[in-house]
Amino acid sequence: MTGSSPPARQCTLPSCEREATDTAHDGALCEYHTQSVDDDSALSRGLEEGAERQASDSDPIGRTREAFEAAVEWFHGQLDREIADHTENGEHPARPTTARAYFREDRGWTSETVAEKRLGWAPPNDGALLDHLMHEGFGREAILGTGLFTENLHPLWQGRYVFPYFDEKDQAIYAISRSTGREGGGRAGYDGHPMDGMSGKYAKPAHTKEYAHIDEPIYGLDTIRDGEPVIITEGIADAITAHERGYACLSPVTTEFKHRDREALAAALEERDVSHVYVVQDAEAPTSDVTEDGRLAVEQFGPGVRGAATTAGYLAEEGLNAYLGELPRPGGEKVDLDNYLQEWADTLAPVFASAKPADEHPAYDSEKTALDAAQASTRPSNE
């Protein structure tokens, strides 16, 4: 009806039914919670109250893990919040209007997967997550320990999709976030949400800061089953789609594992008596370039396959049955594991059948493998 007022927007805190003070933007707080964040004394009181409860717990790392679990549950609770930037009045109206719609429709994952993986949304709000953790009784040390905030207690992630990592007890112990665009946050000059200040497509918690009490694990370790084969793939979305199809799957969330993660990877696979490891990275077209002396240089294998060869070579040296599996490129375009399972096939049986042992694949570099092994033996364990 002409001249009618827009519906009131609710406070972003899940437990609060008050009307938000800013009805034009998603992620807004009500007057009560806005005051608690803007008023330094109120914020201090909240942190002190949380500190009183934290002081009774002599395990700061354990308390941080509880806070991280609470944060992941809160992100998951934001799945159906409208993303105002993705409506007709926002900068990106063609994008899904909720995080649930992104995971279900854009990514193609089932409702069961969204729930099981506790996928979430970090709303564009400076104080909502902090306020929630304070009300849950967490103090400053535990909140900062999650790595989800700056030292000034501003949230790192605003306007981002959230992907948690789990341990064998199904506790959320880490997470990464993804921009709503393909490059990075809008506030950082990229194509993501205008409140997102992170420069990369994917962003991690500040786990390297002195105040953080979390470590970056290997994604998917919770899916390994005793004596069963395991897939290693490139991206977190690739791994989630593989999990949905019933495969145990790990991911470095890049082209290959860091040196410090390889020993942990091999140990985890050996501990569970994994029968075979199939490293299946993105299939990319060969690339070419002109060298400084004017010669044409053709790169037959992309960074994904080269990284796969390095990982498989290392695991083979550690005594594991490691193979490189290559995805077909039916249209000549880049194909990743997510594309393949969503669009081309429901099974990886043909990929496994054609997989080659690491040292038989043309991308395998024995000299690089030996050099990496020698460097790893002299490198500090934290690298």
Find out whether 251 and 243 touch, Cβ atoms under 8 Å: no
CA 2 to chain centre: 44
Please check whether residues 149 and 248 belong to one and the same domain: no
C-alpha 356: how far from its chain's center?
29
The pair of three-digit structure tokens given for residue 379, joined into one six-digit string: 């490198």
Range of the domain at 312: 221-378
Mean pLDDT within 147-173? 96
Report whether 359 contacts 366 (CB < 8 A).
Answer: yes
CATH number at residue 289: 3.40.1360.10
Question: Among the three residues 203, 233, 253, which one is the final residue of a domain in this structure?
Answer: 203
What's the pLDDT score for residue 306? 80
The answer to whether residue 310 is domain-embedded is yes
Q: Which residues pair with 120 in a beta bridge?
A: 162
Phi, psi (deg, nearest 5) at residue 270? -70, -40
Does residue 141 belong to any structural domain of this protein?
A: yes
* Domain presence at residue 197: yes
pLDDT at position 309 over 60: yes
In-domain check, residue 365:
yes
Shared domain check, 198 and 81: yes
Q: Are residues 256 and 172 in the same domain?
A: no
Number of domains the chain is built from:
2
**Residue 285 — very low, low, confident or very high, per pLDDT cuts 50/70/90?**
low
Q: Are residues 109 and 248 in the same domain?
A: no
- In the numeric block, which tokens belong to residue 45? 């009181």
Q: Is 16 within the bounds of a domain?
A: no
Which of 203, 238, 253 is the C-terminal boundary of a domain? 203
Convert the pLDDT of each residue in 81-118 to its tens digit.
999 999 999 999 999 999 999 999 999 999 999 999 99
Residue 296 pLDDT grade (very low, low, confident, very high; cuts 50, 70, 90) = low
261 and 173 in a common domain: no
Mean pLDDT of the chain: 84
Using the 3D structure, point to which of 154, 177, 203 is the last residue of a domain: 203
Interval 321-361: pLDDT, tens: 999 998 988 766 788 999 999 999 989 999 999 999 988 98
> Would the pTM count as exceeding 0.85?
no
Assess whether 298 and 352 both reside in one domain. Answer: yes
Residue 88 CA, chain-centre distance (Å), reads 28
| pLDDT at residue 38 in the model | 47
Same domain, 150 and 257: no
187 plus 150 within the same structural domain: yes
Pair 244, 142 in one domain: no
Q: Identify the pLDDT of residue 31.
A: 58
Task: Please tell me whether residues 246 and 370 are part of one structural domain.
Answer: yes
Q: Pull the structure tokens for residue 33.
A: 């919670």
DSSP string, 314-366: HHHHTT--EEE-----TTSS-B-HHHIIIII-S--HHHHHT-EEGGGSTT--H
CATH number at residue 41: 3.90.980.10
Element (H, E) at 96: none
| Distance from C-alpha of 74 to C-alpha of 277, rounded to nearest angstrom | 35
Residues 98, 233: one domain?
no
Whether 236 and 297 map to the same domain: the answer is yes
> Is residue 245 domain-resident?
yes
* Residue 54 covered by a domain: yes
Q: Would residue 4 count as lying in a domain?
A: no
User: Which phi and psi (to 5°) does residue 250 adopt?
Assistant: -115, 160
CA-wise closest residue to 87 among 107, 101, 75: 101
Contact between residue 9 and residue 23 where contact means Cβ atoms under 8 Å apart: yes
